[in-house]
Amino acid sequence: MKKSLVAASIIVVLGAAWTGASWYTGKLIEQRMGEMVEIANSELKSYLPNAGIKLSFENYQRGLFSSQARYVLRADDSVPTDNAQLKPGEEIAFLETISHGPFPVAQLKKLYLLPSLASVHSKLENTPRLKTLFEITKGQSLFSAETRIAFSGDTATTIDVIPVEFRGDKNSLRFSGAKINADVGRDMKTTVLDVTNDSTIISAPNQFGQIGQIRLQGLMLTGNTHQNQFNLSLGEQAVNLKQLNVSIDGKETLSMEGIKLATQFDEQDSKLDGQINYALDAIKIQGNNFGSGKLLLKINNLDDKGVKEFSERYNQQTMALLQHGEMLSPEDYQQQSAALLLKNLPLLLKGNPSLSIAPLSWQNSKGESSFTLSIDFLDPAQASTTAETSEQPLVRFVKKIDANLKIPVSMAAEAMAQTAKLQGHSEADAQKMAQMQLQQLATLGQALQLITLKDDIISNSFHYADNQIELNGKKMSLPAFTGLFGIAGDEGDDYLQSEQPDEVTPPENSGETPKSEQPDEAPQVEQPGETPKSEQPDQAPQAEQPAEAPKSEQPDQAPQAEQPAEAPKSEQPDQAPQAEQPAEAPKSEQPDQAPQVEQPAEAPKSEQPDQAPQVEQPAEAPKSEQPDEAAAH
């Protein structure tokens, strides 16, 4: 009897203690609600500055073991009504049922026995603003959430998003549902996140009236992040998608498999280091496998304070530009956006950061291409006088660049052939077109000194330091390099003329010869009205000249001169009529005794020497053999 009384007394005491503790925790929750709402509003302002919304709580009804509350999102009148996410009078409400600690009943039902401040069940309320959503979900809340609040203020939340199937006149949505696990610190500066979704299918017509469909399968998002003193998010984040399919009118046009994105950022001594890793296991276009790719991008030595200032200023100025973007042309908007970036870039370059790509690669059935890049940036505040006054961004902001590119010829040909097949060409025609296009591109690239071709590998190496460029082993100044692309000056043209590769043979010309194929030293041929005798060789035997020289034999830049039908005798030497002569031919190019080489009517350019020979005429040409209009060579 005494033992039973003791046991009953213990139960009563524990029950009373639990009741008192539950009542007390209910009171603590009410006191903390204001603090939690302020933190939530601060985060809304930080991440959604132009949303124009604020969170508040109302109708808090505290009971002994549980309480009821209503959290509401409303417009805060901080943005114009037309741009606000919520109009005046509209609201999005969350209904909360709060089980008091230290052992919330909702947690005990799940056999979670650790003490906690409270357990909260949340769901959406059917308000006029969400009427359409509730019609789609057939009267159910789109999600329900269970949140455990620790005495420290940290929260652990599990959110279940229900499956949704919607079909409109032209659009449709099939969503398998999702599960979200989120652990958030009291100050909301630390977050552990996990999101999974099995399948999402969206269908809608495109601009041509065709029904397009996007299917996402196996979506997973993970994150473990925290904020530093400047509220910059550090830690690890990842997005994985098992498969993405795009189809038009039921026919699959694009398939991507194994899409992965992972980021990692850390801080050490006020410097940020990070890396971004992309990967794609396979991409297929209309059933053709174009291969796989990956990219690893690393950033080191970023100044955290500079990054914060850059982010704040650039975002503010960009938002201001967006507000007036409708009044600007696309070209003006692009120019002003680039100017904003260039203006704020010095903030991002504090501390001389560096960037590297190691590597960017793409692989198909015939091989793998790779590109590597390393850039050391220059803090403008520490730049030399030359860099500060230079108008070249490369000089002002970059200390060193190293880049290398390698593309196997077989790999490039396979990619080009697959592209040609997509355009409707047969396998054989696609292979021929790929080889021809690749040959043309390789020839052009070598002619411009941009690439080298060795062992069936197309390569490019680029190095920049101390205002000097080394391109494929050849050194040049920065103006000469920019001149290659017509950016500045004529030094690039001079470089091309002096560094033409011997192995690049231009195709045989049957018509007009491009300027790039003309001999470097070919003089301009022009028929003057009167040729001084002092410039003619005295005894040089003359070769026979055709009545009309084809234009294909003449340099593009040679000015044409019209010759009179009958040259006056006073203009012709006693021994032989004169051949066509340049208007101002240097004497050094016309030796006194050098015999002239006979030139055929149609001579290919490849057979003509750098020093253009003089065309000879017969010693005594009858007037009947002279054309009315002599063609200039």
Structural domain boundaries enclosing 465: 352-508
Instruction: Give domain status of residue 21, yes or no.
Output: yes
3-29 as b/e: b if 16+ CB within 10 A? eeeeeeeeeeeeeeeeeeebeebbebb
Q: Which residue, of 162, 185, 214, is where some domain finishes?
A: 162
| Final residue before a domain boundary, out of 162, 196, 214 | 162
Name the burial class of residue 245, with classes exposed (0-12), middle (13-18) and buried (19+) by CB atoms within 10 angstroms of its CB. middle
Q: Please indicate, yes or no, if residue 417 is contained in any of the structural domains.
A: yes
Q: Provide the pLDDT confidence category of residue 23 given band limits of 50, 70 and 90.
A: low
329-372: per-residue pLDDT in tens? 888 888 888 888 888 988 989 889 999 998 999 999 999 999 99
Residue 6 in domain: yes
Q: Which residue has the higher pLDDT, 629 or 499?
A: 499
| Domain-located, residue 328 | no
Report if residue 183 sits inside a domain: no
DSSP 131: H
Asked if pLDDT for residue 217 goes beyond 50, the answer is yes
Question: pLDDT digits over 361-405, tens only?
Answer: 999 999 999 999 999 998 887 766 555 555 566 778 899 999 999
Give the range with max mean pLDDT: 30-34, 222-226, 556-560: 222-226
Task: Report the 10 Å Cβ neighbour count for 413.
Answer: 21
Residue 229 is predicted with a pLDDT of: 86
pLDDT computed for residue 554 by the predictor: 42
pLDDT range class, residue 118, cuts 50, 70, 90: confident
Residues 6+ apart with CB under 8 A from 276: 261, 262, 263, 295, 296, 297
Domains in the chain: how many in total? 2
Structural domain ending residue among the three candidates 162, 197, 216: 162
Domain assignment present for 384: yes
Residue 140 lies in a domain: yes
Contact 600, 607 (CB under 8 A): no
* Residue 112 to residue 195: CA distance in whole angstroms: 22
Is 279 a domain residue? no
- Say whether pLDDT at 325 is over 80: no
Report the range of poorest mean pLDDT among 102-111, 234-243, 404-413, 467-476.
Answer: 102-111
